[in-house]
């Protein structure tokens, strides 16, 4: 996993609540057996005017000029600004894969759906929950300020606006360590292999039917 320490990036706003994983990456693209290459199909149904299918060359497709992420001013954005319950719906990790492949490294929102939130951390994509008042202000600033950028400082756990206003955010200590170091969860867990074996052996005696 890539490390995440600090990020200074262009912000793109997606001003709607309950953005679901079917919208982030429609089901036809889940047929891939790879982890990469989902970026061109992120938000496929909102982003293009035609219907997308796997294997299409997306560069030639007609883009929907009304979809915010297609606007020239947001090209190259690495921070997505969103509303409440972002990433609701399915457990498909293809959603964070698609957002990351699209170019996002962090998502700032009022709230996230649990599974999506969790999946982001496994991929070095940082989901940040901020209070509604701060998110409201950021939507206003992003819309009214061409080239609006934010700095995300993970060690200090704050989002810093260009005017110097710093907004603190929460992140679990364990997840933070993993992101800062780019650690692989599996490697970390396997340090406890002996404990897992002991637990399993005990369970096998107490509830043998679970090991049939």
Partner 1 sequence: MSKTLYEKLWDSHVVHVEEDGTALLYIDRHLVHEVTSPQAFEGLKLAGRKVWRVSSIVATADHNTPTSHWERGILDPISRQQVETLDANIRETGALAYFPFKDRRQGIVHVVGPENGATLPGMTVVCGDSHTSTHGAFACLAHGIGTSEVEHVLATQCLLQKKSKTMLVRIEGKVGAGVTAKDIVLALIGRIGTAGGNGYAIEFGGEAIRALSMEGRMTICNMAIEAGARVGFVAADETTIAYLKGRNFAPKGADWDKAVAYWRTLVSDADARFDIVIDMDARQIVPQVTWGTSPEMVTGIDGTVPAPEDFKDPVKSEGVARALQYMGLTPRMRIDQIAIDKVFIGSCTNSRIEDLRAAAAVARGRRVAANVKLALVVPGSGLIKEQAEAEGLDKIFIAAGFEWRQPGCSMCLAMNDDRLNPGERCASTSNRNFEGRQGAGGRTHLVSPAMAAAAAIAGRFADVRELS
In the complex with partner 1, the residue whose CB is nearer, 8 or 203, is 203
CB of 93 to partner 1, least distance (A): 4
Residue 205 lies near partner 1 (rule: CB under 8 A): no
How far from chain centre, in Å, is Cα 19? 12
d(CA 81, CA 97): 17
Cβ-contact 82, 134 below 8 angstroms: no
* β-sheet with 79-81: strand ranges across: 126-129, 106-109, 79-81, 6-13, 149-153, 158-160, 166-168
Residue 165 lies near partner 1 (rule: CB under 8 A): no
Pick from 69, 87, 108: nearest CA to 23? 87
136 contact partners, CB below 8 Å, separation of at least 6 = none
CB of 206 to partner 1, least distance (A): 9
Residue 31 lies near partner 1 (rule: CB under 8 A): yes
Burial of 108 (0-12, 13-18, 19+ CB in 10 A): buried
Residue 62 lies near partner 1 (rule: CB under 8 A): no
Residue 20 lies near partner 1 (rule: CB under 8 A): yes
d(CA 101, CA 107): 14
d(CA 120, CA 184): 13
Residue 66 lies near partner 1 (rule: CB under 8 A): no
Residue 65 lies near partner 1 (rule: CB under 8 A): no
* Span interacting with partner 1, options 32-40, 65-73, 98-106, 143-151, rule CB under 8 A: 32-40
* Span interacting with partner 1, options 56-64, 98-106, 149-157, 169-177, rule CB under 8 A: 169-177
Residue 47 lies near partner 1 (rule: CB under 8 A): no
Residues 76-105 that bind partner 1 (CB under 8 A): 83-85, 88-93, 96
Cα-Cα end-to-end distance for the chain = 36
SS3 116: helix
Tell me, by CB under 8 A, how many residues bind partner 1: 60
In the complex with partner 1, the residue whose CB is nearer, 75 or 197, is 197
CB of 75 to partner 1, least distance (A): 24
Which residues bind to partner 1, rule: CB under 8 A? 15-18, 20, 22-23, 26-28, 30-35, 45, 51, 54-55, 83-85, 88-93, 96, 111-115, 118-119, 122-123, 172-175, 185-186, 189-190, 192-193, 195-196, 199-200, 203, 207-212
């Amino acid at each position: 996993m890539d490390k995440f320490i600090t990020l200074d990036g262009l912000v793109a706003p997606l001003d709607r609540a309950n953005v679901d994983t079917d919208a982030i990456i429609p089901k036809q693209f889940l047929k891939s057996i790879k982890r990469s290459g989902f970026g061109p199909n992120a938000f496929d149904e909102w982003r293009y005017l035609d219907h997308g299918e796997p294997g299409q060359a997306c560069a030639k497709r007609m883009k929907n000029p009304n979809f915010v992420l297609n606007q020239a001013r947001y090209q190259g954005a690495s921070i997505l600004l969103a509303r409440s319950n972002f990433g609701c719906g399915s457990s498909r990790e293809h959603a964070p894969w698609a957002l990351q492949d699209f170019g996002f490294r962090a998502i700032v929102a009022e709230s996230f759906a649990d599974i999506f939130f969790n999946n982001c951390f496994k991929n070095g994509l940082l989901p940040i929950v901020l209070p509604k008042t701060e998110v409201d202000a950021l939507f206003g600033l992003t819309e009214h300020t061409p080239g609006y950028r934010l700095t995300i400082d993970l060690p200090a756990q704050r989002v810093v606006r260009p005017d110097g206003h710093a907004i603190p955010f929460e992140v679990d200590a364990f997840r933070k360590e993993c992101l800062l170091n780019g650690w692989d969860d599996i490697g970390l867990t396997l340090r406890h292999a002996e404990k897992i074996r002991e637990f399993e052996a005990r369970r096998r005696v107490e509830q043998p039917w679970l090991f049939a």
